[in-house]
């Protein structure tokens, strides 16, 4: 039995014991709740607890109607206590719009990945579907649809599922949902080994010789020897290099601005980097940034250089240059230094960056090249 008491400062307090005999309290604050609403809530809670005690899954029509028309505050309180699973009357379109509006300062490339994921989501779901009525089975059907349509690589599908998981977890945090329908739905792997390409030191030197400018020699050196992301290369300032600690430079990953550990890291000033930076610095002493030209599509420009160098088109060139350097650093300096210098966890390196090279096979066979 539930006990209803009027509070001295206005409002009502309902106490009851749940199916585990734990004492629970629902408070209705203020004078807006009349005694009639409080008594109806008391009757509703008693029915809901009785059904849970007796493991009765059937819904009481009267209770269902009352809860679905109750004030939102009461709906949230019943939902939080697990007494009622209310399919909230918000659509998937409202969810995606609210999520994106809640992140006005999202880095533009990251925002674009969410917009693309949203488009793939609505290839399968209707905009007016209620989020509270989505199930794991429906989400698995969506994933199968993406896999079977023949348009997307496995890594793209993985990224899409991951972004959707973030959106639905946001809905949980904001009490739009009790459980995410994507909980328990595997996202897959980002790794697409068909697009992995180890760029050797010999190929790196050919790329340098084919560069149209010293700035491009620096861009490729920072990517292949320093393991920098394109956004880290573009944001690198001369003031980040050397200084009191003249054996290293600071790399800032603007995509990770909210994670201090991943936003900033110190990278060794490898001799190859020093040599190329010194050549570029001459005549650019008054510039703030190391790279000053507007390179909107570094990958496309890089592959024009790669074609001139005679090494062919390289898929995901900056990811592959970073992965090539991660492999070398891990082999030469160890996994700990590779993780710190390139700015990711050892687990991430194992999953996405470290490669097995032709040299590894030659060494293992006792036929070092």
- Percent of the chain whose predicted confidence (pLDDT) is above 70: 86
Q: What is the CATH number of the domain that holds 302?
A: 1.10.443.10
Specify the number of domains making up the chain: 3
Same domain, 209 and 343: yes
Side-chain half-sphere of 301: how many Cα atoms within 13 Å?
15
Q: What is the pLDDT of residue 168?
A: 93
Provide the 3-class DSSP secondary structure of residue 258: coil
Q: Is residue 343 part of a domain?
A: yes
Q: Is residue 163 part of a domain?
A: yes
Residue span of the structural domain in which 117 resides: 92-190
Left if phi > 0, otherwise alpha if psi is -120 to 50, otherwise beta: which for 32? Answer: alpha
d(CA 230, CA 210): 19
Same domain, 352 and 211: yes
Same domain, 277 and 167: no
End residue of a domain, out of 31, 60, 80: 80
Same domain, 244 and 339: yes
Q: What is the CATH number of the domain that holds 152?
A: 1.10.150
Same domain, 53 and 99: no
End residue of a domain, out of 20, 45, 80: 80
Strands, sheet with 3-6, edge to edge from the N-terminal-most edge strand = 3-6, 11-17, 23-29
The C-alpha angle with vertex 170 and arms to 122 and 89, in degrees rounded to 5, equals 65
Q: What is the pLDDT of residue 64?
A: 85
More confident residue, 335 or 241: 241
The beta strands (E) that lie in the chain are given as 3-6, 11-17, 23-29, 248-252, 264-268
Q: Is residue 87 part of a domain?
A: no
Hey, which residues does 6 pair with through a beta bridge?
A: 12
Same domain, 68 and 199: no
In terms of Cβ atoms closer than 10 Å to its own Cβ (0-12, 13-18, 19+), residue 1 is: exposed
Q: Is residue 131 part of a domain?
A: yes
More confident residue, 210 or 135: 210
Same domain, 179 and 199: no
Q: Do 52 and 18 meet the contact criterion of CB atoms below 8 Å apart? A: yes
d(CA 183, CA 162): 11
Q: Is residue 184 part of a domain?
A: yes
Same domain, 147 and 186: yes
Q: Is residue 233 part of a domain?
A: yes
Q: Is residue 58 part of a domain?
A: yes
Q: Is residue 341 part of a domain?
A: yes
Provide the 3-class DSSP secondary structure of residue 179: coil
Q: Looking at the predicted structure, is the pLDDT value of residue 245 above 80?
A: no
Q: Looking at the predicted structure, is the pLDDT value of residue 334 above 90?
A: no
In terms of Cβ atoms closer than 10 Å to its own Cβ (0-12, 13-18, 19+), residue 107 is: middle
Same domain, 99 and 14: no
Same domain, 44 and 98: no
Instruction: Label residues 243-271 b or e (16+ Cβ within 10 Å = b).
Output: eeeeebbbbbbebbeeeeeeebbebebbe
**Predicted structure pTM score:** 0.55
Same domain, 48 and 118: no
End residue of a domain, out of 54, 80, 106: 80
Q: What is the largest CA-CA distance in the chain?
A: 88
Span 88-137, pLDDT tens digits: 568 899 999 999 998 888 878 888 999 999 999 999 999 999 887 888 89
Residues 116-120: contacts with CB under 8 Å, at least 24 apart: 116/160, 117/159, 117/160, 117/163, 117/164, 120/146, 120/152, 120/160
Same domain, 207 and 343: yes
Q: Looking at the predicted structure, is the pLDDT value of residue 259 above 60?
A: no
Q: Looking at the predicted structure, is the pLDDT value of residue 314 above 50?
A: yes
More confident residue, 41 or 351: 41
Q: Do 245 and 269 meet the contact criterion of CB atoms below 8 Å apart? A: no
Provide the 3-class DSSP secondary structure of residue 16: strand
């Amino acid at each position: 039995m539930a006990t209803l008491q009027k509070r001295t400062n206005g409002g009502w307090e309902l106490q009851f014991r749940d199916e585990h005999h734990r004492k629970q309290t629902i408070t209705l604050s203020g004078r807006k709740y009349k005694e009639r609403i409080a008594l109806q809530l008391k009757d509703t809670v008693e029915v809901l607890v009785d059904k849970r005690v007796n493991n009765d899954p059937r819904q009481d029509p009267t209770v269902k109607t009352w809860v679905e028309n109750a004030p939102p505050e009461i709906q949230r309180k019943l939902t939080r206590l697990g007494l009622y699973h209310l399919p909230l009357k918000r659509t998937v379109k409202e969810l995606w719009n609210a999520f994106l509006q809640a992140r006005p300062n999202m880095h533009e490339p990251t925002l674009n990945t969410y917009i693309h994921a949203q488009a793939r989501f609505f290839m399968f779901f209707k905009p007016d579907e209620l989020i509270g009525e989505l199930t794991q089975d429906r989400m698995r059907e969506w994933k199968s649809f993406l896999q079977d349509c023949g348009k997307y690589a496995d890594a793209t599908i993985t990224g899409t599922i991951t972004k959707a998981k973030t959106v639905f977890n946001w809905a949980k945090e904001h009490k739009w949902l009790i459980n995410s329908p994507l909980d328990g739905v595997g996202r897959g792997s980002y790794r697409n080994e068909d697009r992995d390409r180890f760029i050797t030191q010999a190929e790196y030197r050919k790329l340098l010789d084919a560069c149209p400018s010293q700035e491009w020699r620096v861009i490729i050196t920072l990517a292949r020897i320093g393991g920098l992301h394109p956004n880290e290369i573009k944001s690198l300032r001369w003031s980040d290099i050397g200084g009191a600690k003249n054996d290293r430079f600071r790399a800032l990953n603007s995509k990770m601005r909210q994670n201090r550990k991943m936003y900033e890291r110190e990278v060794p000033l490898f001799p190859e980097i020093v040599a190329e930076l010194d050549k570029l610095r001459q005549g650019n002493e008054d510039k703030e940034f190391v790279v000053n030209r507007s390179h909107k599509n570094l990958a496309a420009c890089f592959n024009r250089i790669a074609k001139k160098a005679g090494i062919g088109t390289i898929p995901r060139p900056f990811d592959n240059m970073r992965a090539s350097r991660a492999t070398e650093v891990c082999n030469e300096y160890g996994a700990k230094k590779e993780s710190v210098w390139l700015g990711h966890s050892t687990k991430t390196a194992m999953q996405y960056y470290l490669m097995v090279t032709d040299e590894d096979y030659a060494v293992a066979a006792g036929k070092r090249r």
